[in-house]
Structure 1
């Protein structure tokens, strides 16, 4: 099928401006990809901070459970988690002086809250 063109309009004139639209779309794709990379990087950093808070809280609670430091293990874990800008979600004391804790960072991101879980106890 032949498209009917208006008299006096060439093929090049019909495509005028398409490069600008293509450049704008390409720029938008680059910006969106950059934003996604930043969000994923932020999520990874927050997950690492939540895991570190859980590790430190579990180690402190395990020391309290074994009597190395004073205090009730879960209260100590909550205090240490708070010092690391995290909230203690759960704390369980197990057999042999082991303690398992779960923390959540108090700072929430666009993708949600970061949580960490750790277990600590005496060396084997």
Structure 2
């Protein structure tokens, strides 16, 4: 009887550890996805601000972010430099990332 109690405890601990590691891995994947989407959206906005592509910069950033499955929560322009923040849900939480693109200083 004592052996089966130990086995149940070990299985329960292993299950909890696995769930925790999977959740941490999923959060890391979301973070990288958000960072890539923020970079792409900021580059699109900076290109539109400089005239390299046609369109309104923040609208271009929103188009790219939507195509990548995230939402733009902030888009700011400082001359030709664009700063874009994107977000996406992660369970009951929301993850976000920001990126800046423009000409070198």
Q: One fold, TM greater than 0.5?
A: yes
1:61 aligns with 2:51: no
TM-score (norm 1): 0.80
Q: Is 1:103 aligned to residue 98 of structure 2?
A: no
The answer for the alignment partner of 2:97 in structure 1 is: 116
Q: Tell me how far apart the structure 2 counterparts of residues 37 and 43 of structure 1 sit (CA, whole Å).
A: 10
Deviation at 1:123, TM superposition (A): 3.1
1:94 equivalenced with 2:65 (yes/no): no
What secondary structure does 1:113 align onto? strand
The structural deviation recorded for 1:111 is: 5.5
1:22 Cα deviation from its structure 2 partner = 1.0
Count of residue pairs the alignment pairs up? 105
Counterparts of 1:1-124 in structure 2, within 5 Å, are 17-95=1-79, 97-105=80-88, 108-110=89-91, 112-124=93-105
More strand per residue: 1 or 2?
Answer: 2
Q: 5+ residue gaps in structure 2?
A: none
Deviations 1:49-70 (A, max 9, x none): 0111100000000000001100
